[in-house]
Amino acid sequence: MDAQATTKPAVLILLGPPGAGKGTQARMLEQRFGLIQLSTGDLLRAAVAAGTPAGLAAKAVMEAGGLVSDEIVLAILKDRMAQPDVKAGVILDGFPRTAGQAAALDGLLAEAGQGVTAAISLEVDDAAMIARVAGRFTCADCGEGYHDEFKLPVEAGTCDKCGGTAFKRRADDTAETARARLEAYHAQTAPLIAHYRGLGVLETVDAMDSIAAVASELGSIVTRVSA
Ligand code: AMP
Protein backbone atom coordinates (compact mmCIF):
# COMPACT_ATOMS: atom_id res chain seq x y z
CA MET A 1 0.00 0.00 0.00
CA ASP A 2 1.48 3.26 -1.22
CA ALA A 3 1.20 5.32 1.97
CA GLN A 4 2.86 2.83 4.31
CA ALA A 5 6.29 4.01 3.29
CA THR A 6 5.60 7.43 4.85
CA THR A 7 7.39 8.40 8.04
CA LYS A 8 4.46 10.26 9.60
CA PRO A 9 0.85 9.15 9.19
CA ALA A 10 -0.88 11.27 6.59
CA VAL A 11 -3.70 13.58 7.64
CA LEU A 12 -5.75 14.29 4.54
CA ILE A 13 -8.82 16.50 4.46
CA LEU A 14 -11.47 16.28 1.77
CA LEU A 15 -13.28 19.61 1.43
CA GLY A 16 -16.33 20.08 -0.76
CA PRO A 17 -20.10 20.62 -0.69
CA PRO A 18 -22.60 17.80 -0.19
CA GLY A 19 -22.60 15.62 -3.29
CA ALA A 20 -19.04 16.48 -4.31
CA GLY A 21 -18.03 12.84 -3.81
CA LYS A 22 -16.13 13.10 -0.52
CA GLY A 23 -17.52 9.85 0.89
CA THR A 24 -17.10 7.87 -2.34
CA GLN A 25 -13.56 9.10 -2.87
CA ALA A 26 -12.58 8.66 0.79
CA ARG A 27 -13.69 5.02 0.63
CA MET A 28 -11.59 4.47 -2.50
CA LEU A 29 -8.52 6.14 -0.94
CA GLU A 30 -9.01 4.05 2.19
CA GLN A 31 -8.84 0.84 0.16
CA ARG A 32 -5.97 1.95 -2.04
CA PHE A 33 -3.68 3.51 0.58
CA GLY A 34 -4.66 1.70 3.79
CA LEU A 35 -5.77 4.98 5.37
CA ILE A 36 -8.74 5.27 7.71
CA GLN A 37 -11.79 7.18 6.49
CA LEU A 38 -13.08 9.33 9.28
CA SER A 39 -16.48 10.81 8.48
CA THR A 40 -18.05 13.01 11.16
CA GLY A 41 -21.37 12.58 9.31
CA ASP A 42 -21.13 8.77 9.73
CA LEU A 43 -20.09 9.16 13.39
CA LEU A 44 -23.03 11.50 14.03
CA ARG A 45 -25.50 9.20 12.23
CA ALA A 46 -24.24 6.33 14.40
CA ALA A 47 -24.76 8.49 17.52
CA VAL A 48 -28.29 9.35 16.37
CA ALA A 49 -29.06 5.66 15.73
CA ALA A 50 -27.65 4.68 19.13
CA GLY A 51 -29.65 7.43 20.86
CA THR A 52 -26.63 8.81 22.74
CA PRO A 53 -26.94 12.32 24.28
CA ALA A 54 -24.80 13.72 21.43
CA GLY A 55 -27.00 11.93 18.90
CA LEU A 56 -30.18 13.25 20.47
CA ALA A 57 -28.81 16.80 20.37
CA ALA A 58 -27.62 16.47 16.76
CA LYS A 59 -30.67 14.80 15.19
CA ALA A 60 -32.91 17.80 14.47
CA VAL A 61 -30.00 19.96 13.25
CA MET A 62 -28.92 17.23 10.81
CA GLU A 63 -32.46 16.72 9.54
CA ALA A 64 -32.69 20.46 8.80
CA GLY A 65 -29.35 20.46 6.97
CA GLY A 66 -27.63 22.73 9.51
CA LEU A 67 -24.29 22.22 11.20
CA VAL A 68 -24.04 20.39 14.52
CA SER A 69 -22.23 22.40 17.24
CA ASP A 70 -18.44 22.39 17.25
CA GLU A 71 -18.55 21.10 20.83
CA ILE A 72 -20.42 17.90 19.91
CA VAL A 73 -18.50 17.30 16.69
CA LEU A 74 -15.11 17.83 18.32
CA ALA A 75 -15.93 15.48 21.20
CA ILE A 76 -16.94 12.76 18.73
CA LEU A 77 -13.91 13.35 16.54
CA LYS A 78 -11.42 13.34 19.43
CA ASP A 79 -12.83 10.03 20.66
CA ARG A 80 -12.35 8.51 17.24
CA MET A 81 -8.86 9.99 16.78
CA ALA A 82 -7.82 8.39 20.07
CA GLN A 83 -8.38 4.89 18.68
CA PRO A 84 -5.25 3.02 17.60
CA ASP A 85 -6.23 2.26 13.99
CA VAL A 86 -5.95 5.95 12.99
CA LYS A 87 -2.18 5.65 13.35
CA ALA A 88 -2.23 4.34 9.76
CA GLY A 89 -3.19 7.86 8.66
CA VAL A 90 -6.62 9.39 8.13
CA ILE A 91 -8.83 10.86 5.46
CA LEU A 92 -11.11 13.38 7.12
CA ASP A 93 -14.41 13.38 5.25
CA GLY A 94 -16.75 16.21 6.25
CA PHE A 95 -14.45 17.61 8.93
CA PRO A 96 -13.48 20.35 9.60
CA ARG A 97 -16.54 22.33 8.54
CA THR A 98 -16.04 25.56 10.53
CA ALA A 99 -13.13 27.84 11.41
CA GLY A 100 -13.41 26.66 15.03
CA GLN A 101 -13.10 23.01 14.00
CA ALA A 102 -10.11 23.80 11.75
CA ALA A 103 -8.34 25.61 14.62
CA ALA A 104 -9.09 22.72 17.00
CA LEU A 105 -7.70 20.22 14.49
CA ASP A 106 -4.54 22.29 14.00
CA GLY A 107 -4.11 22.32 17.80
CA LEU A 108 -4.73 18.59 18.17
CA LEU A 109 -2.19 17.78 15.46
CA ALA A 110 0.36 20.28 16.80
CA GLU A 111 0.26 18.44 20.16
CA ALA A 112 1.43 15.35 18.26
CA GLY A 113 4.11 17.36 16.43
CA GLN A 114 2.16 17.12 13.21
CA GLY A 115 0.17 19.14 10.74
CA VAL A 116 -2.34 18.61 7.96
CA THR A 117 -0.63 16.77 5.10
CA ALA A 118 -3.04 18.05 2.45
CA ALA A 119 -6.48 19.64 2.29
CA ILE A 120 -8.03 18.68 -1.03
CA SER A 121 -10.89 20.82 -2.27
CA LEU A 122 -13.32 18.99 -4.57
CA GLU A 123 -14.52 21.74 -6.90
CA VAL A 124 -18.02 21.30 -8.26
CA ASP A 125 -20.97 23.11 -9.75
CA ASP A 126 -23.64 23.94 -7.12
CA ALA A 127 -26.71 23.24 -9.27
CA ALA A 128 -25.50 19.73 -10.14
CA MET A 129 -24.95 18.96 -6.45
CA ILE A 130 -28.65 19.10 -5.58
CA ALA A 131 -29.44 16.47 -8.26
CA ARG A 132 -26.52 14.29 -7.14
CA VAL A 133 -27.56 14.35 -3.49
CA ALA A 134 -31.30 13.96 -4.05
CA GLY A 135 -30.95 10.65 -5.96
CA ARG A 136 -28.36 8.80 -3.95
CA PHE A 137 -28.66 5.62 -1.93
CA THR A 138 -26.28 3.03 -0.48
CA CYS A 139 -26.08 -0.70 0.07
CA ALA A 140 -27.25 -1.37 3.63
CA ASP A 141 -24.65 -4.14 4.00
CA CYS A 142 -21.39 -2.79 2.58
CA GLY A 143 -22.11 0.93 2.12
CA GLU A 144 -21.41 0.99 -1.64
CA GLY A 145 -22.90 4.18 -3.08
CA TYR A 146 -25.48 4.32 -5.90
CA HIS A 147 -27.61 6.92 -7.64
CA ASP A 148 -31.08 6.77 -9.27
CA GLU A 149 -29.79 8.55 -12.36
CA PHE A 150 -26.02 8.20 -12.51
CA LYS A 151 -25.12 4.81 -11.02
CA LEU A 152 -27.74 2.07 -10.63
CA PRO A 153 -26.65 -1.45 -9.63
CA VAL A 154 -25.86 -3.52 -12.76
CA GLU A 155 -28.49 -6.06 -11.68
CA ALA A 156 -31.53 -4.19 -10.35
CA GLY A 157 -31.93 -4.59 -6.59
CA THR A 158 -28.56 -6.31 -6.00
CA CYS A 159 -25.39 -4.60 -4.80
CA ASP A 160 -22.58 -4.88 -7.39
CA LYS A 161 -20.00 -5.16 -4.67
CA CYS A 162 -21.36 -7.55 -2.03
CA GLY A 163 -24.55 -9.00 -3.53
CA GLY A 164 -26.67 -7.48 -0.75
CA THR A 165 -30.30 -6.74 -1.56
CA ALA A 166 -31.14 -4.10 1.07
CA PHE A 167 -30.50 -0.43 0.32
CA LYS A 168 -30.92 2.72 2.37
CA ARG A 169 -31.30 6.45 1.81
CA ARG A 170 -30.18 9.18 4.19
CA ALA A 171 -33.01 11.17 5.77
CA ASP A 172 -31.24 14.41 4.80
CA ASP A 173 -30.73 13.53 1.12
CA THR A 174 -33.75 15.50 -0.13
CA ALA A 175 -33.53 18.45 -2.52
CA GLU A 176 -34.73 20.84 0.19
CA THR A 177 -32.22 19.73 2.84
CA ALA A 178 -29.47 19.57 0.23
CA ARG A 179 -30.06 23.28 -0.46
CA ALA A 180 -29.67 24.09 3.25
CA ARG A 181 -26.50 21.97 3.44
CA LEU A 182 -25.08 23.75 0.40
CA GLU A 183 -25.77 27.11 2.05
CA ALA A 184 -24.06 25.95 5.24
CA TYR A 185 -21.08 24.84 3.15
CA HIS A 186 -20.69 28.22 1.47
CA ALA A 187 -21.23 30.22 4.65
CA GLN A 188 -19.06 28.22 7.04
CA THR A 189 -16.88 25.65 5.29
CA ALA A 190 -15.74 27.23 1.99
CA PRO A 191 -13.73 29.90 3.91
CA LEU A 192 -11.47 27.07 5.13
CA ILE A 193 -10.05 26.82 1.61
CA ALA A 194 -8.18 30.09 2.27
CA HIS A 195 -7.02 28.77 5.67
CA TYR A 196 -5.37 25.72 4.08
CA ARG A 197 -4.01 27.76 1.17
CA GLY A 198 -2.34 29.95 3.80
CA LEU A 199 -0.80 26.86 5.44
CA GLY A 200 0.56 25.81 2.03
CA VAL A 201 -1.29 22.46 2.01
CA LEU A 202 -4.21 23.21 -0.33
CA GLU A 203 -4.81 21.04 -3.40
CA THR A 204 -7.78 21.43 -5.77
CA VAL A 205 -9.43 18.83 -7.96
CA ASP A 206 -12.13 19.23 -10.62
CA ALA A 207 -14.74 16.92 -9.11
CA MET A 208 -17.28 17.29 -11.95
CA ASP A 209 -15.29 14.61 -13.76
CA SER A 210 -16.13 10.86 -13.54
CA ILE A 211 -15.64 9.02 -10.23
CA ALA A 212 -12.71 7.09 -11.78
CA ALA A 213 -11.02 10.24 -13.14
CA VAL A 214 -11.33 12.05 -9.80
CA ALA A 215 -10.02 8.95 -7.98
CA SER A 216 -7.02 8.84 -10.26
CA GLU A 217 -6.21 12.51 -9.68
CA LEU A 218 -6.63 12.12 -5.91
CA GLY A 219 -4.40 9.05 -5.98
CA SER A 220 -1.63 11.07 -7.66
CA ILE A 221 -1.96 13.82 -5.05
CA VAL A 222 -1.85 11.39 -2.13
CA THR A 223 1.19 9.63 -3.57
CA ARG A 224 2.95 12.97 -4.06
CA VAL A 225 2.17 14.48 -0.63
CA SER A 226 2.95 11.23 1.22
CA ALA A 227 6.39 10.88 -0.37
P1 AMP B 1 -22.22 14.45 5.89
O2 AMP B 1 -22.44 12.99 6.03
O3 AMP B 1 -20.78 14.85 5.94
O4 AMP B 1 -22.93 15.02 4.68
O5 AMP B 1 -22.92 15.14 7.17
C6 AMP B 1 -24.30 15.02 7.40
C7 AMP B 1 -24.73 16.04 8.42
O8 AMP B 1 -24.04 15.80 9.65
C9 AMP B 1 -24.40 17.48 8.06
O10 AMP B 1 -25.38 18.07 7.22
C11 AMP B 1 -24.34 18.11 9.45
O12 AMP B 1 -25.64 18.33 9.97
C13 AMP B 1 -23.69 17.02 10.28
N14 AMP B 1 -22.21 17.13 10.27
C15 AMP B 1 -21.32 16.24 9.76
N16 AMP B 1 -20.07 16.63 9.96
C17 AMP B 1 -20.14 17.82 10.60
C18 AMP B 1 -19.18 18.75 11.07
N19 AMP B 1 -17.86 18.53 10.90
N20 AMP B 1 -19.63 19.86 11.72
C21 AMP B 1 -20.94 20.10 11.90
N22 AMP B 1 -21.91 19.26 11.47
C23 AMP B 1 -21.52 18.13 10.83
Residue of 15, 22, 39, 44 to test ligand 1 pocket, by largest number of atoms within 8 Å of CB:
44
CA 41/CA 49 separation, integer angstroms: 12
Q: Is 21 in the pocket of ligand 1 (CB under 6 A)?
A: no
Q: What pLDDT score was predicted for residue 112? A: 86
pLDDT tens track of the chain, all 227 residues?
444 444 578 999 999 999 999 999 999 999 999 999 999 999 999 999 999 999 999 999 999 999 999 999 999 999 999 999 998 899 999 999 999 999 999 999 999 899 999 999 999 998 899 988 999 999 999 999 999 998 999 999 999 999 999 999 998 999 999 999 999 999 999 999 999 999 999 999 999 999 999 999 999 999 999 88
Q: What are phi and psi of 83, to 5 degrees?
A: -80, 145
Q: Is the CB of 40 under 6 A from ligand 1?
A: yes
Q: Is the CB of 43 under 6 A from ligand 1?
A: no
Q: Does ligand 1 have an atom closer than 6 angstroms to the CB of 20?
A: no
Residue 193: which of 91, 123, 110 has the closest Cα? Answer: 123
Q: Which atom of ligand 1 is nearest to the CA of 62?
A: 12
DSSP 157: T
Number of H helices, E strands in the chain: 9, 8
What is the pLDDT, as a whole number, of residue 224? 95
pLDDT score of 17: 95
Take atom 14 of ligand 1 and give the residue whose Cα is closest.
Answer: 41
Q: Which residues touch 211 (CB under 8 Å, ≥6 apart)? A: 21, 24, 25, 28, 151
Question: Which of ligand 1's atoms lies nearest the C-alpha of 69?
Answer: 21
The catalytic residues are: 22, 97, 136, 169, 181
In this prediction the pTM is 0.91
